[in-house]
Amino acid sequence: MEPLSKTAKIFIAITTISAAIMELIDTSIVNVALNQMAGNLGASIEDIAWVITSYAIANVIIIPMTGFLATYFGRLRYYMFSIALFTVASILCGTSTSLWELVFWRFVQGLGGGALLSTSQAILFENFTGKERGMAAALFGMGVVLGPTLGPTVGGLIIDSYSWPLIFFINIPFGIVASILAYNFVPRTPKVDVKPSIDWSGIFLLTIGIGALQYVLERGETEDWFDSRLIIGLALVAAVGLITFIWWEFKVKEPVVNLRIFKDRNLMITAILTFFVGFILFTSVFIFPLMLQRVLGYTAYETGITLLPASVLSIIFMPLIGKKLQQGTNPQIFVTLGFITLMGFGLLMSQADQNVSSGFFTLPLMIRGAGLALLFVPLNAMAVAGLAPKDIAQGVALNNMVRQIGGSFGIAIVNNYIAHRTAIHRVDLVSNIYNGSPQFAERYTQIYQGLQSKLPVAANLPQQTYQIMELSMMKQVYLRSYLDAFVYVTIFIMVAFPLIFLARRAPKANKETLHAAEEV
């Protein structure tokens, strides 16, 4: 395979990162449109949540299979098909006229989108030499951090100014451009004379195991967790399916997911750390917007704008870190700094109160942006550093799957924790509010007199006064719960921290290894 020119590599980077960002934006862009979708399609808020759940289930099912599918069909052919599938499904999502039609096409969109993430990263790593791989990891990390942050911002802007179908239609021009660039610049891999056999049993077990697990994590809180027979049943299906899948994949000669590569110690440790990074990334993006919108009254667009500067900082940091990795800096140093930095973010966020301005969040969010930059680039590089060239695509796919599952676990656990803390804080506050207390009387009088000066005499002032006091109390309850959640996430970071020192520093690649990587 002839060496690629710098121009070709630039276009490959643009293509793959754009496709990854497009996919990641779609994981969060619909969150701010659920109310409008529900009203337009005549669905309840509980049912419209399937728009998110179906995409997540399809995403996490397809990601671990992307290495096999790329080998079976050819990387470029599979990549272009995935872009086309994602783009066409986006069109059909935007033209859906019923809830379940939209849910179906979101599932199809998730099948295409999940492939984009891992295949984009594999293409980057395969077409950048060993010395350049740190920079490739940095470029991809930029997209991974930017995508989930841009989703709520772009979604909020669209919902404020237009209607929900546009959040799907904006994928069309990006999909067309990505297809053209991929066809012209992504190198074709050599044809495989003997294709691997299709591991149908592995595909079936993975689908039911991961699909059931993702459903439990996505819908557990709504279904009251293990008070629901459906959740109990699917939890058992997930456990049996995944245990049987792992056993089968180690037994079969040509597995759909090559779990044997987890024998590489660095990949195993990196995957565990990546799980915690996914936990941190998705939960912080989950908690922060809720706090701003429920407690401080921000719109979705204003929330996204607040998050944007930290993402820009990550984008600036990542290439610098990638360059340092190229120069031989031990990635464990960056990972250590990244985890320490994220601990600082969690502790700073836990100090907020109901009177803070948007300026309060600037420092902790900047710290978060720097921390994610310090983590994503070295972890991406560490994940594939000790793998043979033929295993890189599979390693990338597994690492991405672990990050997605980490995010799903994180949101499910933190959502349940927030609900638990909300109940506790409400009881605590209510127990201190009673008609005879001076503080209650003073607050009641202030609100009552304020309403009296603005509303007609006929208005039910006592009832409205109590309602305002209830809303004020619940804001305080939510705030305390979200602050507790930031401390909770910080504890998870501390638990993962010692694992960093179990990883071995990957040996420097020799000329033969670099040449093999170029030939993939």
| Confidence (pLDDT) at 267 | 83
pLDDT band at 26 (very low <50, low <70, confident <90, very high): confident
Taking 60 as the threshold, does the pLDDT of residue 119 lie above it? Answer: yes
Contact 76, 182 (CB under 8 A): yes
What is the three-class DSSP state of 430?
Answer: helix
Task: Record the pTM.
Answer: 0.72
Taking 90 as the threshold, does the pLDDT of residue 105 lie above it? Answer: yes
Between the ranges 57-66, 384-393, 430-439, where is the mean pLDDT highest?
57-66
Mean pLDDT score, 499-507: 69
* Residue that the structure tokens 């004379």 belong to: 193
| Confidence (pLDDT) at 244 | 92
| CATH number of this structure's domain 6-198+256-423+476-519, picked from the four choices 3.30.420.40, 1.10.10.10, 3.50.50.60, 1.20.1250.20 | 1.20.1250.20
Taking 90 as the threshold, does the pLDDT of residue 424 lie above it? Answer: no
Taking 80 as the threshold, does the pLDDT of residue 181 lie above it? Answer: yes
Taking 60 as the threshold, does the pLDDT of residue 2 lie above it? Answer: no
| Confidence (pLDDT) at 520 | 33
Give the chain's mean pLDDT: 78
| Confidence (pLDDT) at 466 | 63
pLDDT band at 519 (very low <50, low <70, confident <90, very high): very low
Q: Where are the domains of the chain?
A: 6-198+256-423+476-519, 199-255, 424-475
DSSP string, 185-223: HSPPPPPPSSPPPP-HHHHHHHHHHHHHHHHHHHHTTTT
Taking 70 as the threshold, does the pLDDT of residue 455 lie above it? Answer: no
Q: How many CB atoms lie within 10 A of CB 383?
A: 29
How confident is the model over 244-261, as pLDDT tens digits? 988 988 888 888 888 888
Mean pLDDT score, 504-519: 40
Taking 50 as the threshold, does the pLDDT of residue 516 lie above it? Answer: no
Mean pLDDT score, 85-100: 91
State both tokens at 125.
């790593």
How confident is the model over 467-497, as pLDDT tens digits? 666 677 777 888 888 888 888 888 888 888 8
Residue count of the chain: 520
Q: Which of 252-261, 340-349, 437-446, 475-484 has the lowest mean pLDDT?
A: 437-446
Between the ranges 34-48, 228-242, 276-290, 489-503, where is the mean pLDDT highest?
228-242
pLDDT band at 89 (very low <50, low <70, confident <90, very high): very high
Contact 488, 414 (CB under 8 A): yes
How confident is the model over 28-59, as pLDDT tens digits? 777 777 777 888 888 776 677 788 778 878 88
| Confidence (pLDDT) at 126 | 72
Between the ranges 78-92, 357-371, 493-507, where is the mean pLDDT highest?
78-92
**Residue, of 395 and 4, whose pLDDT is higher:** 395
- Give residues with Cβ within 8 angstroms of 206, minimum separation 6: 61, 64, 65, 241, 245, 256, 257
Write 36-40 long-range contacts (CB < 8 A, 24+). Answer: 36/159, 36/163, 36/164, 37/102, 37/164, 40/163, 40/164
| Confidence (pLDDT) at 439 | 64
State both tokens at 44.
């309840």
* Residue that the structure tokens 């439990």 belong to: 216
pLDDT band at 86 (very low <50, low <70, confident <90, very high): very high
| Confidence (pLDDT) at 101 | 92
- Give residues with Cβ within 8 angstroms of 262, minimum separation 6: 268, 271, 398
